[in-house]
Structure 1
Amino acid sequence: MKKLEIYIHIPFCVKKCAYCDFLSGPAGEKERRRYVQALKKEIKSCREDAKGYLVQSVFFGGGTPSILEPEEISEILDTVKAVFQLEKKAEITMEQNPGTAEAGKMRGYLDAGVNRLSIGLQSADDKELAILGRIHTYRDFVETYQAARNAGFDNINVDLMSAVPGQTMESYRETLKKVTALKPEHISAYSLIIEEGTLFWNWYGEGRDSGGHPPVPDEDTDRAMYEETKRFLKEYGYERYEISNYSKEGFACRHNIGYWNRTPYLGFGVGAASFFEGARFSNLRDREAYTKLWLQDNRTSEEKKRIQREDWHKVSKKEAEEEFFFLGLRMMEGVREDVFEKTFGIAPRKIYGEQIKTLQQQKLLQCSDGRIFLTERGIDVSNYVMAQFLQEE
């Protein structure tokens, strides 16, 4: 059977973080309940799509999925299992905000079928958390983490953020120390990006004066934090398997690896993206319109799917080859030449020979054992390297 991944978007949160540009926002219990019912109907509409596929991972993202009750997560997962065939040991991840994760919920999530948690800490410094607009303290995080362990979770990711306004090298190193002392199985470490449409954009975007808000660390400090992340996590036994992701042996995130390996995935919920049957598309982004479509519209399920799937695009062979390279290069393992040739019927060097040769000369790419992968220097300028594999029309 062909492999498939499932992403489920939960667009609710207590309040918007200052840096967040995700499709999310506050909502009352009634609205959340209606949304869960709509989700279940959308999932049920994919019985025909499910045939011939084996689901290897399910990911609840947001927003804040942990704002839902365990019973609601269980309902959604039960619907997924009724429609799709899941691997016996499928990875089922749920993102969790420490500010919404009561200890009493933990066992309920585990019993519902969630077997991996991704907890959004971002920083162990309470001042930095306040600047980010997080609704939790470091103590809240520790209590959430311990409650998850006590409930029986043995696969936990912790999200960290560097280059936070007001952050120093010392405070960032202290965050790394505190988190590694807890021994999570996986750590995702990202540098803050100021996105348009966020509160941070109003404060810092386009080089504007911060207006008295804590300054964003300069490029040299950001760079030093990046280097310290690599050094520190390696020292504590975390293997870097992707540009921003580190794990203990055997705990790399299967769902994310699937994205980078171009495994097909179906996204459910408002704004969710999909890559399925060689096409990319995303669901409509209006939450109320999405809920009404699935709960009140009298059209057939197939008609509803056609209505809600926006930006539908059939991926051409050339685009697929490009994706294979620039997504594959995010992984430390890089691109396997034999897999590329098996997939596309042509050796990668016949298409990208000049690019590979030039990037090797620049010491940005390395070729060994049939793999093409980024050097340490190449990782530092990965966006530039990946852009070289975009073919001109």
Structure 2
Amino acid sequence: MLSDARYNHYEISSYCKDNFKSKHNLTYWDNKPFFGFGLGSASFLGGFRFSRPKKMKVYAGYVQNLEDGVVGLSEDSFPDPKDMAMDAVMLSFRTAKGLDLKSFRKTFGTSLVHSLGKAYRPFVESGHVVCLDRHRRVITTDRFCALLSNEEEIEETVVFIRLSVPDGFLLSNELISLAFHVIAP
């Protein structure tokens, strides 16, 4: 209905007219840094996600510690690469543009990208997952399946992977969960 009215389905739960995407939402879904202020707010800076206290008394103490320079990152605050990979997939799959495999491969390695490709094959075949080339043209299912056995060529050819609109989005939790099982079995 919204698509018929010329709204674009750019994010799993958002539609917009051309050039009216929510910059706030896309900052989050594109895994870019952001600040949150106030009780219970979250921030993402330098690869770290953190939240502020939700209760006023605790929050006041937190702010005082910040002003005093007491609050810092502990050793266990550093993000685990597997968690970072899962975040990248989950956040990217919430958008119609999907996951940039070139960037993902550069950060997390070729073997993980190939494992994801093999895991998603049934969903590419069913039309729930769409593979795109560098010009964002759809790669046919037959072509994708043939490329799975040629690691060098698939890297050059399949540059983006996304969920189909709307059917893939309807299975997003299952498809994201599948990626989590591949990343952290």
Q: TM (normalized to structure 1)? A: 0.36
2: distance between equivalents of 1:352 and 1:298?
Answer: 43
Q: 1:377 aligned to 159, 167, 172, which one?
A: 167
User: Which structure 2 residue ranges, 5 or more long, are not aligned?
Assistant: 134-158
Give, in angstroms, the shift of residue 249 of structure 1: 1.1
1: distance between equivalents of 2:66 and 2:169?
Answer: 49
Pick closer, same or farther for the CA change 1:279–1:341 going to 2, 3 Å: same
Pick closer, same or farther for the CA change 1:277–1:335 going to 2, 3 Å: same
Q: How much identity, in percent, do the aligned residues show?
A: 28
Q: Does 1:386 align with 2:176?
A: yes
Whether the aligned pair in 1 keeps the contact of 2:33 and 2:44 (CA below 8 Å) is yes
Mapping for residues 202-241 of structure 1, pairs under 5 Å: 231=1, 233-241=2-10
Pick closer, same or farther for the CA change 1:348–1:333 going to 2, 3 Å: farther
| Secondary structure at the counterpart of residue 69 of structure 2 | helix
Give, in angstroms, the shift of residue 234 of structure 1: 1.9
Whether the aligned pair in 2 keeps the contact of 1:340 and 1:347 (CA below 8 Å) is no
Which one-letter code corresponds to 2:184 in the other structure?
A: E
Give, in angstroms, the shift of residue 352 of structure 1: 1.3
Mapping for residues 134-145 of structure 1, pairs under 5 Å: none
Pick closer, same or farther for the CA change 1:362–1:289 going to 2, 3 Å: same
1: distance between equivalents of 2:115 and 2:66?
Answer: 46
**1:361 equivalent in structure 2:** 125
**2:97 equivalent in structure 1:** 333
Give, in angstroms, the shift of residue 298 of structure 1: 7.8
2: distance between equivalents of 1:298 and 1:243?
Answer: 38
Aligned length: 156
2: distance between equivalents of 1:293 and 1:380?
Answer: 40
Give, in angstroms, the shift of residue 374 of structure 1: 0.9
User: Which structure 1 residue ranges, 5 or more long, are not aligned?
Assistant: 1-230
Pick closer, same or farther for the CA change 1:277–1:361 going to 2, 3 Å: same
2: distance between equivalents of 1:318 and 1:298?
Answer: 31
Pick closer, same or farther for the CA change 1:282–1:359 going to 2, 3 Å: same
Which one-letter code corresponds to 1:276 in the other structure?
A: L
**2:19 equivalent in structure 1:** 250
Give, in angstroms, the shift of residue 273 of structure 1: 1.1
Aligned alpha-carbon RMSD (Å): 2.6
Whether the aligned pair in 2 keeps the contact of 1:349 and 1:356 (CA below 8 Å) is no
| Secondary structure at the counterpart of residue 322 of structure 1 | helix
Q: 1:301 aligned to 48, 68, 73, which one?
A: 68
Q: 1:270 aligned to 13, 34, 39, which one?
A: 39
Mapping for residues 121-140 of structure 1, pairs under 5 Å: none
Structure with more relative contact order (C-alpha pairs < 8 Å, separation 6 or more): 2
Mapping for residues 59-74 of structure 1, pairs under 5 Å: none
Pick closer, same or farther for the CA change 1:252–1:345 going to 2, 3 Å: same
